[in-house]
Structure 1
Amino acid sequence: MAWSQDEERMLAQIESYLIDEDPRLAARLESFNERVERRENGRPRRAARAAGRRPSRSTVIILVSWLLIATLIATLLIMVFRQDAASLPL
């Protein structure tokens, strides 16, 4: 949707007021806009990193922990079922 001329004029006034009032904010916004433009023109950063990326240390720790917990639960269930089966009369 296109902006009307009045809306564009009001936005330009707001922009000039903010630039005059807080130049650091204006510089930060300009830097942000440049990064967004680079990202839109090139390959997204996440896709670029995902191509040759190893999982982080915390991810590995979490996966190993879940694997250990699942193994322990499975072992306990097997022990309980064997105990129940052994106590059944034949």
Structure 2
Amino acid sequence: MASSQDEERMLAQIESYLTDDDPRLAARLESFNERVVRKEAGDRKRTARARRRRRRPSRSTVIILVSWLLIATLIATLLIMVFRGDAAALPM
């Protein structure tokens, strides 16, 4: 929102009156503003890093997926053998 020159001048006067009236309050507000700016900059960096980084599956997830794939392959192979009649050729 754009401010006119009169508004800017009035805000500057209010700021100077408040700073002159209570310097401790002005110092606290300045410190707070600096902390907020640092926190926002850190948050932006963190989210930018998170977007760039690819999430990899954990080792246990990979092991479980491979195990399920092997089990599904074995079951499919056995079903094919049963329906073809090759099951009699299996050693027991």
Q: If the length of structure 2 is used for normalisation, what is the TM-score?
A: 0.45
Larger gyration radius, structure 1 or structure 2: 2
Q: If the length of structure 1 is used for normalisation, what is the TM-score?
A: 0.46
